[in-house]
Chain A
Amino acid sequence: MRIGVRRLAQYLGFVIVAGLAVVAIIAPWITPHDPFLQNLDARMIPPSFMEGGVPQHFLGTDQIGRDYFSRLIYGARISMLIGVLVVICSGLIGTTLGVIGGFFGGRVDAVVMFIITCRLSIPFILVALTVVSFVGSSLSVVVMTLGLLLWERFAVVARTTTMQVRTLDYIAAAWAAGCSRTHILLREVLPNILHHLIVVATLEMALAILLEAALSFLGLGVPPPLPSWGLMIAEAKDYMFFSPWVIMVPGLALFVLVLGINLLGDGLRDRLGAARDA
């Protein structure tokens, strides 16, 4: 029973993430309306299941009459895209730093630790806001900024796990067999720490999605009229006292996606950890 509930939650996480990924990919074919099309005669229509709703707009319309359901679906695209791209970028930086520090140790490791400490010291929301504001807001700037800022957990985990495998027999065997340093790093060390990094990747993806939403909410993330969920909440904020659903809809979407990723990460941790112990 105990295991049952937890497993169930992990499967739920997988279903949420996979489902939203599919929705994001096929967005153009399942959206009933153009997410950018404004209709000033149909502003702030409530969702169809609420009083005053119309069947054409399942989740109603926003303050300039754009179909909320269509924007929500396109918003999944933006969140997913940002999550994946940021993780690729930060994963490359963090893993490289961490593996190098953990493998070579000594002075090299001290430098890596110093870089990690510096990164942790800078208030990253402020720095991200500054970069986006001063360089100019666009999807790629947001991805680059978050990618360059969110690598420290990759680095920390890659460093500690590399230190653990460095002294194991198969590494010694590879040295003895005359393998090059590059070969050992890429073919022996990396595959054996990868499962730890995958779990970190889910955590960082969730974090990246939340941060993008926060930046967009503050007006310094993804630029309008792109349907970022954070931006949708910011645009709807002025209407929330009279029609709370305008912030509930994108907020819940964000919450469900991030929860799904975290549950999936939890499941992967169990699975990959168990596979290693077996």
Chain B
Amino acid sequence: MLKFLARRAVLAVLVMLTVLTISFALTRLSGDVAVSMAGPQATQQDIATIRKNYGLDRPLIVQFGDWVGGVATGNLGRSYLYHAPVAELIRARLPITLTLGLTGLAIALLVAIPLGILAAMHEGAWLDRAIMMVAVVGQAMPSFWLGLVLVIWLGVKLQLLPISGVDTWDGYVLPGVVLAFSAIPALMRLTRGGMVDALASDYVRTARAKGLTRVSVVLKHALRNAAMPVVAVAAVQLGFMLGGSVVIESVFALNGVGYLAWESIAKNDFPVVQAVVLFLATIYVALTLLADMLNAVLDPRLRVS
């Protein structure tokens, strides 16, 4: 198992180095960064000043070395817009995005796992078909539009929930539900598939033959085995959710990391853009590594080989 994990760790480091390069290259796509930062009304003098202040007059390779060296020492650069260290900007907004992501994941799991189990227990019957139809319909829902519709309906018409901001805890409900929506179909299919296999297996038949109750068979024997891939995918989904929260944060006016990224992209604040891309990629890589480790711990077969 140690060898397996060591290989995954090496892979993770290599991926991070690639992402480091991509995030740098990405922000140089506009050609001359200084010109786009200065805006349309800037004089030659302004552009020259920006170029000098941000070290953009140096060769690209030196700038890249600067970026890598900075990241290695925990310095993600300075925002051009906020005149503050990028690391601080991200740290200030991280709690919102993290709370949103975890809320979304919790809602997704609470909906997907019971429905997936229910569908598997009635495999092929109308209940199974109905639940899988819900998954197909859910997958077709544009999340930003669903957000707006929920805002109009639950927020304005029925006045049940706040429509923007997170001054109180219930501000997370609507964005959490919308975020969860994108993850539910995949998690539900996975739970159902795993449960169908598990319920048809020999150990479940044995458990049934021993006269254990249906609840005990389903929850203790089958679910434990079906849960492993779900745990792994849930970790990966959390990564996707954090990366995709830029859309939800802008719909619900949440001032999280996603909103910061969107604002920085729209206003050419390239130090923030490259740092946020790197940051979200790091979280994703860490989560997949964690999922691999969890799987290795949970699955005895991986532990031995």
> In chain B, what residue has the closest Cβ to A247?
B148
Q: Is A182's beta carbon under 8 Å from chain B? A: no
For chain B, which range describes its interface: under 10, 10 to 19, 20 to 34, or 35 or more residues? 35 or more
Q: Residue B277 contacts which of A123, A218, A248 (CB distance < 8 angstroms)?
A: A123
| Residue in B30, B143, B285 whose beta carbon sits within 8 Å of that of A134 in the complex | B30
B133 touches A9 (CB 8 A): yes
B14 & A248 in contact (Cβ 8 Å cutoff): no
Kindly list chain A residues whose C-beta atoms are within 8 Å of the C-beta of B70.
none
- Of B56-64, B88-96, B171-179, B241-249, the stretch lying at the interface with chain A is B241-249
Surface stretch bound by A, among B18-26, B204-212, B217-225: B18-26
* B243 A126 Cβ-Cβ under 8 A: yes
Give the complex CA separation of A6 and B141 in angstroms.
20
A197 in contact (CB, < 8 A)? no
For A241, give its contact among B144, B152, B262, B276 (CB under 8 Å).
Answer: B152
- Who on chain A is nearest to B244 by CB? A125
The reply to whether A122 and B148 form a contact with Cβ atoms under 8 Å apart is no
Q: How far is the CA of A114 from the CA of B156 in the complex (A)?
A: 48
Name A124's contact: one of B137, B243, B262 (CB within 8 Å): B243
Instruction: List B contacts of A210 (CB < 8 A).
Output: 142
Tell me the B91-150 residues at the A interface (CB within 8 Å): 124-126, 129, 133, 136-137, 139-145, 148-149
Contact of A233 among B11, B148, B242, B261 (CB under 8 A): B148
Closest Cβ–Cβ distance, residue A108 to chain B (whole Å): 16
**How many chain A residues touch B (Cβ–Cβ < 8 Å)?**
45
Report A164-192 CB contacts with B as 1/0, cut-off 8 Å: 00000000000000000000000000000
Q: What's the dominant secondary structure at chain B's contact region? A: helix
Are the C-beta atoms of A130 and B265 separated by less than 8 Å? yes
B18 contacts which chain A residues (CB < 8 A)?
A: 118
* B266 contacts the other chain (CB 8 A): yes
A39 within 8 A of B: no
A87-121 contacts to B (CB < 8 Å): 114, 117-118, 120-121
A156 an interface residue at 8 Å Cβ cutoff?
Answer: no
* CA of A123 to CA of B240, assembled, Å: 7
Bits for B22-48, please: 1 = Cβ < 8 Å to A, else 0.
100011011000001000000000000
**Which residues of chain B have a CB within 8 Å of any CB of chain A?**
11, 14-15, 18-19, 22, 26-27, 29-30, 36, 124-126, 129, 133, 136-137, 139-145, 148-149, 152, 156, 242-244, 246-247, 250, 258, 261-262, 265-266, 268, 273, 276-277, 280-281, 284-285, 288
CB pairs A–B below 8 angstroms (8 shown):
A114-B15, A118-B18, A121-B19, A126-B258, A127-B26, A134-B26, A237-B148, A255-B141
Chain A residues packing against B (C-beta within 8 Å): 2, 5-6, 9, 114, 117-118, 120-127, 129-131, 133-135, 206, 210, 213-214, 217-220, 230, 233, 237, 240-241, 244, 247-248, 251, 254-255, 258-259, 262-263, 266
